[in-house]
Amino acid sequence: MELAKPYLLFLGDVHDQLAAKTAQGIVDWRRDWCVGQVRLEGCKADTGLDDLSITQGAKAGAKTLVVGVVNAGGVLPDHWIASIVEAIEAGMDIATGLHAKLSDIPKIAAAAKKHGRQLHDVRHPTQTFATGKGGLRSGKRLLMVGTDCSVGKKYTALAMEKGMRERGFDADFRATGQTGIFISGRGVAVDAVVADFIAGAAEWLTPAADPLHWDVVEGQGSLFHPSFAGVTLGLLHGAQPDAFIVCHEPTRRTMRGVQTPLPSIDDVIEQTVALGRLTNPAIICTGLSINTEHLSEDQAFTYLDRLSREYELPATDPVRFGVEPLVDALAELYGEPEPRPKKAKTSARRAN
């Protein structure tokens, strides 16, 4: 699934900012891919982009209208359909992370067929995948794993991609969820893949590459979560990571949505290494990413320092303190990236 850029973000008439978290995530990480936002009357969310009509968005060059919202039940409200059809008629593809499939809505499906536009339901992969094969592949892979769901795996992966590129690494973010797909323009929502093919989907997402290339893989779920461990394990085996970073939120006591106690960081490192060795015997943990939003800055510093000494690993909060220690660890373990060849300078003057 690959999305044409740039995007026009559709916020509809959602009633709060949280409902537009998908659109906000796109703006946070890929603002240069966005030409503006479309808000219907009564919309209470705002990503900070220019408000445009569908027609204005098309004139600004938008190639895909992204429905960047979440709502109860994942349905597409009937009164949004006219705007989506208008975007199709204006020459845009449509992408959504809702559970409702665009192709199941007759007016949208008919308009897309008539105008030759693509409908992207990122929660419903159309790609077919083989089962995982487990053979070692060239290139390097870094996977985010968690003590729980929603502890910062996607944010850490995106921050690592940015930090590694700034350091000179050849690194690409690999999206495994719907918001990540919008941010990267490519990926697969692994939680929507039939169980037998999750590992194969992860192999497809992180294929053999140049030995110095890094795929930075967005994690999903937790090996200890009774609801989602199957997805997490398939992703671990298919991604075949050389390195992983543990993501953790220290104030939680039970896992989201269930009463299962939160595992320790020790548990996650031990289990990830034990299970990950099936497809990569060299797998190691290279750092800890800690979501300290519920701690004061002094508490966060103290906690991160304790973890770093206890595990002999770099520990940081990517939001508060950045990912430089985590990038340093990769450089120390796998070598500094080779300097990229400089492009020949061209004169601003034209020869007479």
Give per-residue pLDDT as tens, 143-193: 999 999 989 999 999 999 999 999 999 999 999 988 899 998 889 989 889
Question: Does 147 share its domain with 282?
Answer: yes
Per-residue pLDDT tens digits for 198-235: 999 999 999 999 999 999 999 999 999 999 999 999 99
Task: Show the domain range for 265.
Answer: 140-334
Give the whole-angstrom CA distance, residue 207 versus residue 135: 11
CATH number of 71's domain: 3.40.50.720
Count: domains in the chain: 2
Question: Does 114 share its domain with 144?
Answer: no
Question: Does 59 share its domain with 161?
Answer: no
Question: Does 181 share its domain with 275?
Answer: yes
| pLDDT for position 178 | 86
Write down the pTM of the prediction. Answer: 0.86
**Could you tell me if residue 348 is inside a domain?**
no
Average pLDDT across the chain, whole number: 92
Q: Going by C-beta distance under 8 Å and a sequence separation of 6 or more, which residues neighbour residue 36? A: 8, 9, 49, 50, 51, 52, 56, 57, 60, 62
Q: What are φ and ψ of residue 174, in 5° steps?
A: -115, 115
Question: Does 223 share its domain with 313?
Answer: yes
**Could you tell me if residue 342 is inside a domain?**
no
**Could you tell me if residue 340 is inside a domain?**
no
Question: Does 106 share its domain with 250?
Answer: no
